[in-house]
């Protein structure tokens, strides 16, 4: 039986990630992002992933989004996943 094209796939989100709020801040140049009112540097090769599991560029960051952030050893944001309400609920239960 075929699934509809809009069927949701459970993403494998990093267990070490931290939940936060990503805010678009046009005053911040690359490679910086604002998460929970703190400025973080994007790690080399960092990826920002939207709720549809597509990678986006810095200029496509929405005004505000709940995210799961995975940091590298230097404390730079390595992977940023924008979360759906269902994913957020699942993460808060863990």
Specify burial of residue 16 (Cβ count, 10 A radius: 0-12, 13-18, 19+).
Answer: exposed
State both tokens at 88.
């957020």
pLDDT value at residue 1: 54
List the pLDDT tens digit at each of the 94 positions of the chain. 555 555 567 899 999 999 999 999 999 999 999 999 999 999 999 999 999 999 999 889 999 999 999 999 999 999 999 999 999 999 998 8
State both tokens at 2.
């075929």
Question: How far is the CA of 39 from the CAs of 7, 23, 66, 87, in angstroms?
Answer: 35, 10, 16, 24
């Amino acid at each position: 039986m075929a699934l509809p094209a809009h069927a949701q796939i459970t993403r494998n989100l990093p267990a070490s990630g931290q939940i936060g709020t990503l805010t678009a801040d046009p005053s911040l140049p690359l490679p910086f992002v604002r998460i929970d009112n703190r400025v973080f540097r994007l790690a080399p090769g960092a990826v920002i992933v939207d709720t549809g599991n597509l990678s986006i560029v810095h200029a496509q960051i929405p005004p505000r989004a709940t995210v799961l952030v995975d940091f590298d050893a230097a404390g730079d944001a390595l992977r940023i996943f924008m979360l759906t309400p269902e994913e957020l609920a699942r993460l808060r239960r863990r």
